[in-house]
Structure 1
Amino acid sequence: MKTLNILTTFLLCSLTAAAQDKAPQPTVKWKFQANSAIMASPVVSDGAVYFGSLDSSFYALDVNTGSQKWKFETRGQIRSTAAIHNNKLIFVSGDGLLYCLDKTTGKTTWTFKTGGEKLYPLYSFADYYQSSPQIKDGRVYFGSGDGNVYAVNEADGTLIWKYTTGDIVHAAPALDGDMLFAGSFDGYVYALNNITGALVWKFKSVGQRYFPKGEMQGNPMVFNGKVFVGSRDYNFYALDEKKGYAIWNRQFPRGWAMAPPVIKDSVLYVGTSDDMEMHAMDPETGRDKWKINVKFNIFGGNAFSGQNMYFGTLIGKMLALDYKTGNIKWTFLTDAYLSKRLNYFKEDDSRRDDFIEIMTKPNGQWLSMLALGSVFSTPAVVGNYLIFTTMDGKAYCLSMPA
């Protein structure tokens, strides 16, 4: 019976791979090479693609050709995904400034100085992002490495209010009505009045033996009276939006679920890190409708087009799934994956025998992400184009199959 089960599994995997091989595949429209790794997600507006890089530069590219329109230099790494509104492009930099640029020219409109940016000192290698600003009703909201959540005036960058948490705030805040929700590395989710900055409630994560503080690193998302957020304590939480109590939580066996959660057709989609799975959940209960193991960590969010869902993994792959079934339609292999994967993995993408030894060398995990072109970004869909960024400093634009 065991032999039969193994044979059946092998045949199913072979059929799945064969189906992918026969399915129409994306083609590369263009590629752009920055001077360092890119963790921020691309944002597309009026024919241009915008993103920041760890080379301290912010880039604007032509969406059709990938040619550079302009480049803006800051004095710190940019791990923040920009917000765009009223021709303003706003993002956080590692130099401790919130920048507002004219999106057409790349010239500075205003800057706001925080108390300073920093990486989480307990394990800085896994503090991947800076907060990504959110804009509403003339106000810009964002978190900072100084532990504050800020609201500043969209027109001129003047401070409206700030709220001080107990640690770094690198998640993007979520807005709903007059409420703002932000996670902090002190292990709390804070619900604030977004007009005044007053505290409405706060929720403390459970914690876990490896991460006892239960740092709230994931971006919160609001849907149907619930706040969804992932923590370093391996839990994914659904909180009551008004009162802040846990409606349900789901603890994953092997690691975090901190990819930005997304709702599509009243289904909750959550990617996981060490469990290496994409889950389609009932948002009311947290129970799976389907899940699929994609064999490597997921940190970026999902994009949708038609019946397809797109997301990347840290091994340097971009996947297209049927979002209703979880069936893989195609897989795009980045340049870095094709050229460097055998430095870490075998032909079937299983770990080499010396994988642990390689990864535990100084900066081993970080160097592997640079080498493999890990995808930390959430892709952008624009017409027939799928645009994403990678840790080897590339931006890709794929022409998707019909």
Structure 2
Amino acid sequence: MYKNYTLLIFVLVIICSCGEELVVKKSSAKAIVKFSFSQFNPIIEATIDETTKRITTTLPSTADITKLSPTIIVSPGSKVSPVSDKEQDFSKEVAYTVTAEDGTEVTYKVTVRRERSGAKDILAFSFTDFSPIIVAKIDPTTKAITATLPSTADLTKLKPTISISDKAFVTPVSGNVIDFSKPVNFMVTAEDGSSQSYVVTLVKEAPPVQAVTIKSGNNPSTNVVYVIGSSTLYALNASTGKEIWNYDNDGRILFANSTIYDGNIVLVSKGVKFINASTGVLNGEIQETSHSYSSPVIVNNVLYYGTGESGLLKAFDLKTKKEKWATSVVYWADASPTVYKGNVFIAVKNGSCFNAYDAETGVLKWKTNTINGNMSGFINACTFENLVITSGSYSFKAFDINTGAIKWKFGECNGTTSSPTESEGIIYFGDDNSNFYALDATNGSLKWKYKTGAILDSSPIVDQDFVYIYGKDSFVYAFNKKTGELQWKYQIGSPSDYSYAYVESSPVVFEGVLYIIGRGSKTYALNAKTGEKIWEFNKTFYQTFASPFIIDKNGKVYHSGVSGMTN
């Protein structure tokens, strides 16, 4: 009987249990486990701080953070709002709420930053006020921007339209009126604060000009040495020193060296004159507004010269008798140009810079401000392979002809106005501390040097085994060009002659004879091997800046080392 009651109670309990619902406990898990941006490659995964409930990440500078669709993984059973893969604007903080199964919630704050861009390029530079629009050329390596404008353009009032890298800004700003009569610096600043400078240089097309009338001249029938004293050009018999003819330059001092073209002496003073080499008669003239020290250089029938105070470097086509181009060098254009491999190089007096222009167009290719001190108006550069080599007041450097990069420098010299001369890979020049140097043209290393007794401000000339230079102690020095051993020296004039005459002249050698204008402003012919005097021309000059040059009976010209021309 007892067993039956126990069984009945058990059955009743089972029946009652089956009538109740089974209660399961709901999860309270509500975390963002992963927050990523799959539209980037590689996928960018944000950092989740569970303590502060903050999610942060930094995206590339090019990302548009106003339109991002994050992929979100949350705790199992929980939900997130806004939902995963829904586009959001993350330019400001975005809140994401995660709701657990049990209904509890937690909010995460998401902050998305974009890397600050370092892009700082000028992408386009144009002048839209012209028809057609003028688009400047941008050199991405040198950061030089150049353009040629019509001859009628007013360079002092131009509005450039400038396109730059995204998120960057430029000063001066695009659309402002700017004076481009001189090169203008434009500074582009990136979003990250870094910056770089561009230099904009504009030139004008040469205005239409009438052809200049220049008659052909005649080469001399004998060997002639031409010397310039004060304002007069003299033609002397090279063998005897006897005067053949002279030409007076209207009393204007002649500072520049000369050359010859089509039987005419090309003489630069206030403009360019063409003097018949045989008779001394004026055969034509290019007129300029200012006086110049710049020696003329002729390459491929084009005459290159500087105009002095007016600050122009010019190219004149001697075939068409018309100006080819003119470009401003900003400061005085007194130095003499050097033309080499399609480039025109010129030192800029008072600008402490050295510029390279395209020989065909006159467009600035590069410039360097790494010359110490003012450039002398009498200095010419020399060239070797892909180098252009020049000296400033306290520097001597070799530049890459294509980029202007410094390839080597020589710092031992103590100031120089001596133009360098290159021969067989050796550079020769003097300095203001009485030293005469020979350097390896490839690397600037010293081959030899010689201490003389005076400042060496003339330019060397090399002939056969000798190199010659004239010092302010009135001595002509002759050295063995390979060893630097002094072969001979000869005094012409004296330092005291400076009391009545100022002389800046360099020697030239022709057929074993050295020609030089001495401190007494007299012209001497010396035996180039021994230094013995052959003759002297006793005309005394008050001032002499130019060097002698020779035209032989076949019309070939022989220049001094400062001429800028190749013998």
TM-score of the two chains, using structure 1 as the length reference: 0.72
% same residue: 22
1:228 and 1:82 map into 2 onto residues whose CA distance is 22
> What is the aligned partner in structure 1 of residue 344 from structure 2?
180
The 1:214/1:47 distance shift into structure 2, 3 A limit, reads: closer
2:406 and 2:355 map into 1 onto residues whose CA distance is 13
2:411 and 2:377 map into 1 onto residues whose CA distance is 14
Question: Do structure 1's residue 380 and structure 2's residue 472 form an aligned pair?
Answer: no
Structure 1 residue 399, shift from structure 2 partner: 2.5
1:161 and 1:148 map into 2 onto residues whose CA distance is 10
Question: Do structure 1's residue 80 and structure 2's residue 256 form an aligned pair?
Answer: yes
Equivalent position to 2:235, from 60, 68, 91 = 60
1:71 and 1:397 map into 2 onto residues whose CA distance is 19
2:529 and 2:376 map into 1 onto residues whose CA distance is 40
Equivalent position to 2:449, from 280, 291, 314 = 291
Equivalent position to 2:411, from 233, 251, 269 = 251
> What is the aligned partner in structure 1 of residue 322 from structure 2?
158
Structure with the greater relative contact order (CA < 8 A, sep ≥ 6): 1 or 2? 1
Equivalent position to 1:333, from 482, 486, 491 = 491
4+ long deviations beyond 4 Å? 213-217
Structure 1 residue 156, shift from structure 2 partner: 6.8
More helix per residue: 1
Q: After TM superposition, list the pairs within 5 Å mapping 1:294-373 onto structure 2.
A: 294-337=452-495, 340=496, 367-368=498-499, 370=500
Equivalent position to 2:382, from 221, 228, 239 = 221
Moved more, 301-310 or 69-78: 301-310
1:313 and 1:215 map into 2 onto residues whose CA distance is 17
SS at match of 1:393: coil
Equivalent position to 1:390, from 505, 510, 518 = 518
Structure 1 residue 381, shift from structure 2 partner: 1.2
1:92 and 1:390 map into 2 onto residues whose CA distance is 22
1:106 and 1:282 map into 2 onto residues whose CA distance is 42
Unaligned segments of structure 1, at least 5 residues? 1-43, 119-129, 342-366
Q: State which structure, 1 or 2, has the greater radius of gyration over its C-alpha atoms.
A: 2
CA deviation profile, 1:78-101 (whole Å, cap 9, x unmatched)? 1111111321210212xx121111
> What is the aligned partner in structure 1 of residue 57 from structure 2?
none
Moved more, 69-78 or 299-308: 299-308
> What is the aligned partner in structure 2 of residue 90 from structure 1?
266
SS at match of 2:389: strand
Q: Conserved in 1, the CA contact under 8 Å of 2:493 and 2:518? A: no
Structure 1 residue 395, shift from structure 2 partner: 0.7
> What is the aligned partner in structure 1 of residue 179 from structure 2?
none
Structure 1 residue 392, shift from structure 2 partner: 2.4
> What is the aligned partner in structure 2 of residue 131 from structure 1?
294
> What is the aligned partner in structure 2 of residue 238 from structure 1?
398
SS at match of 1:104: coil
Structure 1 residue 117, shift from structure 2 partner: 1.7
SS at match of 1:251: coil
User: What is the one-letter code of the residue matched to 1:176?
Assistant: Y
Structure 1 residue 51, shift from structure 2 partner: 2.2
User: What is the one-letter code of the residue matched to 1:381?
Assistant: V
> What is the aligned partner in structure 2 of residue 170 from structure 1?
334
1:215 and 1:187 map into 2 onto residues whose CA distance is 9
2:326 and 2:488 map into 1 onto residues whose CA distance is 45
Q: Conserved in 2, the CA contact under 8 Å of 1:83 and 1:90? A: yes
Structure 1 residue 284, shift from structure 2 partner: 2.2
Q: Conserved in 2, the CA contact under 8 Å of 1:205 and 1:216? A: no
Q: Conserved in 1, the CA contact under 8 Å of 2:425 and 2:442? A: no
SS at match of 1:237: strand
Unaligned segments of structure 2, at least 5 residues? 1-219, 531-567
RMSD in angstroms over aligned alpha carbons?
2.2
Q: After TM superposition, list the pairs within 5 Å mapping 1:255-266 onto structure 2.
A: 255-256=415-416, 258-266=417-425
SS at match of 1:335: coil
2:342 and 2:479 map into 1 onto residues whose CA distance is 35
> What is the aligned partner in structure 1 of residue 245 from structure 2?
70
2:429 and 2:528 map into 1 onto residues whose CA distance is 23
2:222 and 2:258 map into 1 onto residues whose CA distance is 15
> What is the aligned partner in structure 2 of residue 193 from structure 1?
358
Equivalent position to 2:368, from 203, 206, 211 = 203
2:307 and 2:356 map into 1 onto residues whose CA distance is 16
Structure 1 residue 102, shift from structure 2 partner: 1.3
1:48 and 1:154 map into 2 onto residues whose CA distance is 24
1:379 and 1:159 map into 2 onto residues whose CA distance is 32
Q: Conserved in 2, the CA contact under 8 Å of 1:216 and 1:231? A: no
Q: Conserved in 1, the CA contact under 8 Å of 2:509 and 2:528? A: no
2:232 and 2:305 map into 1 onto residues whose CA distance is 20
CA deviation profile, 1:311-350 (whole Å, cap 9, x unmatched)? 101121111111111111111111335xx48xxxxxxxxx
Q: After TM superposition, list the pairs within 5 Å mapping 1:137-156 onto structure 2.
A: 137-145=300-308, 146-155=310-319
2:472 and 2:458 map into 1 onto residues whose CA distance is 9
The 1:400/1:250 distance shift into structure 2, 3 A limit, reads: closer
SS at match of 1:170: coil
Q: Conserved in 2, the CA contact under 8 Å of 1:220 and 1:260? A: yes
Structure 1 residue 217, shift from structure 2 partner: 5.6
SS at match of 1:248: strand
Q: Conserved in 2, the CA contact under 8 Å of 1:236 and 1:251? A: yes
The 1:176/1:401 distance shift into structure 2, 3 A limit, reads: closer
The 1:277/1:176 distance shift into structure 2, 3 A limit, reads: same
User: What is the one-letter code of the residue matched to 2:511?
Assistant: G
CA deviation profile, 1:346-379 (whole Å, cap 9, x unmatched)? xxxxxxxxxxxxxxxxxxxxx45x56x75x3221
1:156 and 1:334 map into 2 onto residues whose CA distance is 44
SS at match of 2:332: coil
